[in-house]
Structure 1
Amino acid sequence: HATQIRRAAGANRLVGVSHVSPSQGDDPRTTGQGLPRAPRVRGEHAAAAIKCGPNPRRHDRTLLSAFSVSLWHTHWFSVAAMRAWWVCGFLPFLAAAAAAADPAKGNWEPLIRLPTEKGDAPAPAASAAEDGVTKWAVFVAGSSGYGNYRHQADVCHAYQILRKGGLKEENIVVFMYDDIAKNDLNPRPGVIINHPKGEDVYAGVPKDYTGKQVTAKNFFAVLLGNKTAVTGGSGKVINSKPKDHIFIYYADHGGPGVLGMPNRPYIYAGDFIKVLREKHASKSYSKM
């Protein structure tokens, strides 16, 4: 039967045949002369191979036709699955993306909505200020270079969102290398966007810590409210009180136990955890 199946494989190349070297002659699946071992036949095709009788030549067409029908069904299923994916998956995705833009005005909806909010519902009103509570924010773009445009763009966008939400500029600290807006590769000098049809999100963003000042050391000092440990920059820190809220937003590459920064050393988990514990022990915030 093995001889017959090999003969079928050679004629139609439908059955995979594995070869062995002469040194594998002790393998019971070979003849000891380095001849190819019997192919592996799966499923219903294995049953067809077992039925081969004393004169296996008569079963050539039956065995090969079974393989041919199986391959034809596999091909048909693959084509059908691909068509279904295009109709049910990708095309609705494109339609949803197109719906995000207003074709009449040529602009896009900049609001960020919760999944429970309806598309036509107005944006939720800012929550009433709590007595004795100051909201702080720290934004960190941990990269540099025009190829990492998105990180500084996202930080600028986040700043604009919080300012519109009522946070004061004096309570927001921004870390960004600031080499994107005026970069030679920028087709819109002085402008940073985070959507093809979006507005400029760079205007008005404070340059608290830029260039060589964007370091893990300064970030930790700002978070702890330690002005004496800050090197360069605006000197702005998170001078929070026990009832205050602190929001930290970081955008860049990272890995297990490490977050990137444009200037080394990076932010390592052990160091960051130590700073967070120190901040917690100071009882200078209620939420972070």
Structure 2
Amino acid sequence: MFDLVPAEGVEAETKSDGKSRGETELMWSSVDLVKAGWIEKDGTGLWSITDSGRCALEEHESATELVAEARHLYQEWDALRNEDKDEQLRTIIVATSKEEEAVRSAAQLFVDRGLKNGESAFAPGREVWSRGPVDELRAVFVDKPDFGSGDFVNKLKGQMALVSDDARLLMAELVCWQLLPMGSKTIGERKKTERVQTLLGYMDHPVQIPVEVSKAFKSGSFNPGTAMNQNLYDALVLIISLLNDWCNKSSEEKGTLLENAWAWRGLVQGLPGKSFQPNGIHWSTSFTRSR
């Protein structure tokens, strides 16, 4: 573009990044034009004018008038964006960092596949977040706790030997769901992965941990406190109780709970069983944040 219309005067001055002042100002001005719907960028450096852009050139006689209108349309777009943000803040807890966003993206698998469709978060199309597998886990895990000596995950091997492969997969995914938001200072990526892979290894036909989950395992988003991290049995009982309650709800009830984080928190806080207070934050908030 500047080969055809060379920058002159102040616009030709070179900035510290090697670009001319005119080139930099053009790039910033183009944002207004894009949000006004007058030009499109394909991501490779190619810009193209839209039909609305051609109409704008005909409607506005001067460049000053054209730029002013583009700025006005940008401000309208920005106001709508801020309204959307305000609405989001009333219904969900917004991620504040890349680490939290990675957790949210991974947790969305459990929401979309598991809670919404009753399918496996790891193996889409396989119905495991449903009444049958949940009842199996309640029978061998919730109703028959193993308080003997030994590692929690290793003890699960014996309990999972009595259930179907779908129930084993569900248990691995529920453990993963519990681990997902935990910060790396509480439990690191290697141990998270090792725990879930061990449970998947109890299956007759193991599946793989999704890439999104592996990425989220690198950081986490909060410190659950020692109570939840050490009392794994109680934590899993709560999660299985949650899913048991979930299976009894209508589609309308499920939709309401998934659309409103505060309603979801109310559901979790109302579950029977041990209450966790991770560093002053109720256990249910960990699920709300992961959503």
TM-score, scaled relative to structure 2:
0.25
The structure number with the bigger radius of gyration is: 1
Indicate the structure with greater strand content: 1
Indicate the structure with greater helix content: 2
